[in-house]
């Protein structure tokens, strides 16, 4: 029989390769060549083991990359140990001439290729020449050699994993052993001499954790999952979302739902995969959770057969919690295992995972959306149960953590011993460092640990870098928008080019629920934002901050970002020392309108104390605009006074006009809010300011040198002065020109007014009061 086994696709070693090698490499090649020509049966095992033993001696002969070489040799040593153990078991069982099954033949054929590839690579890492020039040439090639050796080491590591799963005597002869045992059991059970009281009396008990005691705001998700399980039995349901979002609680609520309990009774199992790293470990843990008695030392294949034989005969629902742990480390095998579970005719499958790229099985439809944070109401209900009552500081706290359930729970537990006001003050300084309780090393008691678990699963530095970029922006970055403007993400792709694979990183971050996409509307335009939940964003800023290099590369696109996004970028830069702060400072100094953040402009003014007066004046004036928008008029007047004094030092007439116009703008806004036009002394001060603005708005020949819109701004100030004077029963000295009647009730058409002003500006005399009184504005409407 062994002679009929195919040996196609086995390696062929050329004579040239043998001739160009020496020492352990040459010996290994000769032994490997002999093994590759043998039929893959038990005697073959001795030949391949001997080749591996000689292969491990090569590390003593290489001149470069010794550490990386050792890694491959260590894995080869473990493979060799498995082969020897397997061979000994075959000899002890009397199968010393038996052929290997197809799975093992494929594994050994792949091992032959890997060993040959390693030999070829390691040959390049040694030199038999004693000439200094040859040794230097080898040294300069070290970087390329290092990559090649690392690739070989990785392949040898994968080969070790493969042999560790398959190279057991129980696997090789599994079918025969199972047949014998099954026949013996069948004969025993069918024997008429077997007393009935010796038959098994009980069935395995399925392990199920208790339902969550504190559970609010998840009716929609639970009802959706229950509907799938009840109406599409046996259902396959995935509960997906970021760490700490409440996936486990939702799964337990589903398992304890009356409809699910009515359908499956005691056949409801909950099993955590948190401590498992392979599909085989899932099999063992699940068998234990189902109450199956599997003897110690039973092979994984036998255990798996036992598990699925049992599940194939029952009806129930199995929940695999935290599936991302083994899925990340043993992806293909876990997917195969889930596919096998999904093929069971009467067992429903429920999984929870941070990874949204779920295994390729036929999931029940429609699937659940990724789990979102709590609503404000659900967050406060949860808080109240834990801590009894809430106030405005609690509301600020739950909003600050984006209502993430684990964060809300940890803060509420902390509030049992500290006032919410104190916790809020600590949050502003400590952020996610605050979010832990007793047993902080556990992910359920420390949100930082939970976030780090997700980051470790990335295994891709570009993704961490891109996440650190997005974490700069509380309101997120635009990924898509419904107009011709370039989205923020596209701008990032343009500036980083080959430095960061932005799109690939975003895909990975979405799959691990570290970012999410949110639809929104901005200025009537539909957009899609990429956002990071607040706890993750703060954790990234505290522990994985974006590098100076990446931050400075973004400076070129900062002026083109949406205003809120631009503010976030500049604030982040000001909080960094060195080049980042200096770059952002220069951006604001050169163009103050880039920011609408009061603190940022105030810090810029403080840092620019030694600058020219005209530049400082401009900074103060932009700060005035922000205070007026915020209706903080006292501060606005202080800064416009500073701006005027600085402009006077520089003698800049244009700046003086703009500053006096803004001084009047403050007055107008205050009046519209019900303010200061009733004080006669203040009205006189405003009238004087109007005259100054008019003065600086004219050229040396007293001709109006500004836009008509600037004139209208002054005219509005005159109108409110006149209103104040009327209320104080004082005569109107200057007409505003905005109304056609003496009582300011019939307004004029401002478009026509602007045209009239343009015509009048070419006539003499150039005096404000004369111009205001001589303009005959056309009437438009009564007011």
Bridge partners of residue 436, in order along the sequence? 446
Rounded average pLDDT over 389-395 = 87
Where exactly are the structural domains of the chain? 2-129+137-176, 219-353, 376-435, 676-783
Out of 98-112, 131-145, 333-347, 598-612, least confident range: 131-145
| pLDDT of amino acid 98 | 62
Look up residue 255 and give its two tokens.
């398992």
In the predicted model, is pLDDT for residue 600 greater than 60? Answer: yes
In this prediction the pTM is 0.63
Nearest Cα neighbor of 63 from 149, 136, 126 is: 126
| pLDDT of amino acid 762 | 43
Phi, psi of 92 (to 5 degrees): -65, -30
Long-range contacts of 730-738 (CB under 8 A, 24+ apart): 730/680, 733/687, 733/769, 734/687, 734/690, 734/768, 734/769, 734/772, 734/773, 735/772, 735/773, 736/772, 737/771, 737/772, 737/775, 737/777, 738/712, 738/777
In this structure, which CATH number among 3.40.50.2030, 1.10.10.10, 3.40.50.300, 3.40.50.1100 belongs to the domain 219-353? 3.40.50.300
Rounded average pLDDT over 597-603 = 94
In the predicted model, is pLDDT for residue 627 greater than 80? Answer: yes
Nearest Cα neighbor of 324 from 413, 450, 417, 434 is: 450
Order of strands across the sheet that contains 477-481? 477-481, 525-531, 516-522
Query: Which residues fall within 8 angstroms of residue 57, CB to CB, at 6 or more apart?
Result: 24, 28
- Provide the 10 A C-beta neighbour count for residue 221: 22
Which helix or strand (DSSP H or E) is residue 710 part of?
Answer: helix 708-727
Rounded average pLDDT over 569-582 = 94
Strand duo 347-353 + 236-240: pairing: parallel
Task: Considering only residues 765 and 336, tell me which one the structure prediction assigns the higher pLDDT.
Answer: 336
Q: pLDDT band at residue 754, thresholds of 50, 70 and 90?
A: low
Total length of the chain = 783
Out of 88-102, 258-272, 470-484, least confident range: 88-102
In tens, the pLDDT along 236-272 reads 999 999 988 999 999 999 999 999 999 999 999 999 9
In the predicted model, is pLDDT for residue 172 greater than 60? Answer: no
Helix (H, G, I), strand (E, B) or coil at 590: helix
Which helix or strand (DSSP H or E) is residue 518 part of?
Answer: strand 516-522
Query: Which residues fall within 8 angstroms of residue 484, CB to CB, at 6 or more apart?
Result: none
For residue 486, give the DSSP letter. Answer: P
Out of 596-610, 647-661, 714-728, least confident range: 714-728
Most confident of 341-345, 479-483, 675-679, 733-737: 341-345
Task: Considering only residues 754 and 432, tell me which one the structure prediction assigns the higher pLDDT.
Answer: 432
In the predicted model, is pLDDT for residue 154 greater than 90? Answer: no
- Provide the 10 A C-beta neighbour count for residue 306: 18
The beta strand positions in 88-189, using DSSP E, are none
Task: Considering only residues 555 and 771, tell me which one the structure prediction assigns the higher pLDDT.
Answer: 555
In tens, the pLDDT along 490-542 reads 899 899 988 888 999 999 999 888 998 888 777 677 888 899 998 899 999 98
What Cα–Cα distance (Å) separates residue 496 from each residue in 152, 475, 488, 581?
Answer: 31, 22, 12, 21
In angstroms, rounded to a whole number, what is the distance separating the alpha carbons of residues 144 and 140?
9
Rounded average pLDDT over 202-226 = 89
Nearest Cα neighbor of 721 from 746, 753, 748, 689 is: 689
Interior angle at CA 666, CA 660 and CA 669, nearest 5? 140
| pLDDT of amino acid 607 | 94
| pLDDT of amino acid 347 | 93
| pLDDT of amino acid 467 | 94
| pLDDT of amino acid 645 | 94
In the predicted model, is pLDDT for residue 191 greater than 60? Answer: no
| pLDDT of amino acid 181 | 47
In angstroms, rounded to a whole number, what is the distance separating the alpha carbons of residues 672 and 719?
11
Rounded average pLDDT over 629-649 = 92
Rounded average pLDDT over 576-602 = 93
Do the beta carbons of residue 135 and residue 129 sit within 8 Å?
yes
Mean pLDDT computed over every residue of the chain: 80
Strand duo 316-321 + 347-353: pairing: parallel
Q: pLDDT band at residue 40, thresholds of 50, 70 and 90?
A: confident
Most confident of 50-54, 561-565, 711-715: 561-565
Widest Cα–Cα separation across the chain = 131
| pLDDT of amino acid 482 | 64
| pLDDT of amino acid 774 | 43
Give the ranges where 502-554 is alpha helix by DSSP (H). 502-511, 534-543, 548-553
DSSP 252-282: HHHHTSHHHHHHHTT-EEEEE-TT--SHHHH
**In the chain, what percentage of residues exceed pLDDT 70?**
79
In the predicted model, is pLDDT for residue 740 greater than 90? Answer: no
Most confident of 203-217, 377-391, 627-641: 627-641
| pLDDT of amino acid 319 | 96
Task: Considering only residues 64 and 278, tell me which one the structure prediction assigns the higher pLDDT.
Answer: 278
Q: pLDDT band at residue 484, thresholds of 50, 70 and 90?
A: low
666 burial (CB, 10 Å; 0-12 / 13-18 / 19+) is buried
Look up residue 57 and give its two tokens.
């001696």
Rounded average pLDDT over 52-81 = 79
In angstroms, rounded to a whole number, what is the distance separating the alpha carbons of residues 277 and 293?
22
Q: pLDDT band at residue 97, thresholds of 50, 70 and 90?
A: low
For residue 778, give the DSSP letter. Answer: P
Q: pLDDT band at residue 203, thresholds of 50, 70 and 90?
A: low
């Amino acid at each position: 029989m062994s002679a009929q086994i195919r040996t196609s696709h086995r390696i062929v070693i050329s004579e040239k390769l043998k001739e160009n090698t020496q020492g352990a490499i040459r010996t290994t090649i000769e032994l490997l060549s002999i093994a590759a020509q043998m039929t893959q049966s038990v005697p073959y095992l001795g030949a391949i083991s001997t080749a591996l033993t000689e292969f491990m001696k090569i590390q003593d002969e290489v001149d470069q990359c010794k550490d990386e070489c050792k890694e491959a040799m260590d894995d080869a040593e473990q493979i060799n140990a498995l082969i020897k153990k397997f061979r000994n078991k075959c000899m002890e069982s009397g199968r010393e001439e038996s052929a290997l099954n197809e799975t093992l033949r494929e594994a050994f054929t792949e091992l032959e290729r890997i060993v040959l590839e390693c030999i070829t690579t390691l040959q390049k890492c040694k030199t038999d020449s004693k000439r200094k020039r040859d040794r230097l040439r080898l040294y300069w090639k070290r970087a390329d050699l290092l990559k090649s050796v690392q690739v070989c080491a990785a392949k040898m590591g994968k080969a070790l994993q493969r042999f560790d799963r398959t190279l057991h005597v129980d696997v090789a002869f599994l079918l025969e052993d199972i047949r014998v045992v099954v026949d013996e059991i069948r004969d025993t059970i069918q024997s008429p001499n077997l007393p009935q009281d010796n038959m098994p009396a009980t069935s395995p008990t399925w392990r199920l954790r208790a339902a969550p005691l504190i559970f609010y705001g998840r009716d929609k998700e639970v009802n959706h999952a229950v509907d799938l399980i009840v109406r599409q039995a046996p259902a396959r349901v995935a509960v997906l979302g970021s760490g700490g979002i409440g996936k486990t609680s939702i799964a337990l609520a589903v398992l304890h739902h009356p409809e699910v309990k009515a359908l499956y009774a005691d056949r409801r199992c909950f099993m955590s995969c948190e401590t498992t790293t392979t599909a085989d470990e899932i099999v063992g843990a699940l068998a234990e959770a189902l109450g199956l008695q599997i003897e110690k030392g039973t092979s994984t294949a036998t255990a798996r057969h036992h598990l699925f034989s049992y599940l194939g005969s029952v009806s129930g629902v199995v929940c695999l919690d935290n599936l991302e742990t083994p899925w990340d480390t043993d992806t293909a095998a876990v997917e195969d295992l889930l596919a096998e579970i999904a093929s069971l005719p009467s067992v429903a499958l429920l999984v929870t995972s941070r990874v949204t790229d779920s295994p390729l099985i036929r999931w029940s439809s429609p699937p659940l959306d990724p789990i979102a944070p709590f609503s404000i109401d659900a967050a406060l209900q949860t808080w109240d149960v834990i801590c009894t009552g809430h106030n405005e500081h609690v509301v600020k706290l739950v909003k600050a953590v984006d209502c993430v359930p684990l964060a809300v729970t940890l803060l509420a537990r902390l509030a049992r011993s500290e006032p919410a006001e104190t916790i809020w003050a600590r949050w502003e300084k400590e952020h996610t460092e605050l979010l832990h309780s007793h047993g902080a090393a556990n992910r359920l008691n420390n949100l930082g640990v939970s976030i780090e678990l997700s980051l470790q699963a990335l295994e891709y530095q570009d993704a961490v870098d891109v996440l650190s970029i997005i974490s700069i922006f509380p309101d997120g970055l635009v990924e898509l928008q419904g107009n011709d403007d370039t989205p923020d993400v596209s701008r990032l792709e343009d500036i980083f080019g080959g430095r960061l694979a932005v799109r690939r990183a975003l895909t990975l971050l979405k799959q691990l629920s570290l970012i999410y996409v949110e639809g929104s509307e901005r200025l009537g335009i539909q957009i899609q934002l990429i956002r990071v939940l607040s706890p993750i964003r703060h954790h990234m800023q505290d522990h994985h901050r974006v590098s100076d290099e990446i931050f400075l590369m973004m400076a070129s696109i900062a002026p083109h970002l949406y205003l809120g996004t631009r503010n976030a970028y500049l604030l982040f830069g000001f909080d960094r020392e060195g080049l980042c702060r200096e770059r952002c400072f220069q951006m604001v100094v050169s163009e103050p309108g880039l920011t609408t953040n009061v603190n940022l402009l105030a810090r810029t003014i403080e840092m620019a104390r030694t600058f020219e007066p005209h530049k400082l004046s401009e900074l103060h004036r932009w700060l005035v605009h922000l205070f007026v928008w915020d209706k903080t008029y006292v501060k606005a007047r202080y800064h416009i006074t500073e701006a005027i004094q600085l402009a006077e030092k520089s003698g800049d007439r244009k700046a003086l006009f703009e500053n006096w116009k803004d001084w009047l703008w403050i007055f107008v806004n205050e009046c519209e809010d019900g303010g200061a036009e009733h004080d006669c002394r203040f009205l006189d001060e405003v009238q004087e300011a109007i005259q100054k603005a008019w003065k600086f708005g004219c050229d040396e020949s007293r001709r109006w040198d500004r836009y008509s819109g600037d004139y209208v701004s002054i005219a509005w100030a005159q109108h409110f002065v006149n209103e104040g004077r009327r209320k104080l029963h004082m005569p109107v000295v200057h007409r505003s020109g905005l109304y056609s009647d003496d009582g300011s009730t019939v307004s004029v058409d401002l478009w026509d007014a602007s045209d009239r002003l343009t015509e009048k500006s070419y006539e003499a005399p150039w005096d404000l009061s004369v111009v205001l009184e001589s303009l005959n504005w056309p009437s438009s409407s009564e007011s």
